[in-house]
Amino acid sequence: MSANTPTFKALLQNPTHLLAFGFGSGLSKKAPGTVGTLAAIPLYYAMLALPTPAYLVILIIICIAGVWICGKTADDIGVHDHGGIVWDEFAGFLLTMYWVQESWQATIAGFILFRIFDIFKPWPINRIDRELKGGLGIMVDDLIAGLMAALCLYGLDKLVTAL
């Protein structure tokens, strides 16, 4: 973790940073992106209670607001895409899970697939990660990882259903 990492007390004093650091989950000393994605799971289950159009509207708001939230926090702490900024993981995971029927198996598979794409950043994720800067850059690579994970998850679901 960077010397620029805020404390939890500092996060509580700045709502934008609190959101960017996933309500504190991004402060994890080990694997903050993974911990941030885990912290997104309760939000995912809460959003499942909503009608599908409401889930989509909230997801879009999370994504659009995330560009500002992540960019502002990165600027404030002076580190582009600081490992503790995990709002993008929240958005990417929620996008991964949008098209699948809820089950604990789908949640685990979605979590694993999203983390694989987010960590290893295959093309085009790696290129976007290198070239886009600011809040948009922080968000877009995770959203593409979420889309790629969603495609794999959708394919797995269809394969299992066919068997």
- Give DSSP secondary structure letters for 30-53: S-HHHHHHHHHHHHHHHHHTS-HH
Q: Mean pLDDT in the chain?
A: 94
Mean pLDDT of 41-48: 97
What distance in Å separates the CA atoms of residue 161 and residue 163, rounded to the nearest whole number? 6
Would you state the pLDDT for residue 2? 62
What distance in Å separates the CA atoms of residue 104 and residue 111, rounded to the nearest whole number? 10
**φ, ψ for residue 3, nearest 5 deg:** -65, -20
Q: Where are the alpha helices (DSSP H) in 98-133?
A: 104-120, 125-131
Report pTM: 0.94
- Sign of the CA dihedral with 32 first, then 35, 39, and 40 last: positive
> What percent helix, strand, coil does the chain show, rounded to 5?
75, 0, 25
What is the domain partition of the chain in residue ranges? 32-157
Would you state the pLDDT for residue 97? 97
Residue 1 banded pLDDT, cuts 50, 70, 90 = low
List, for residues 122-137, the tens digit of each pLDDT value: 999 899 888 999 999 9
Helix (H, G, I), strand (E, B), or coil: what is residue 113?
helix
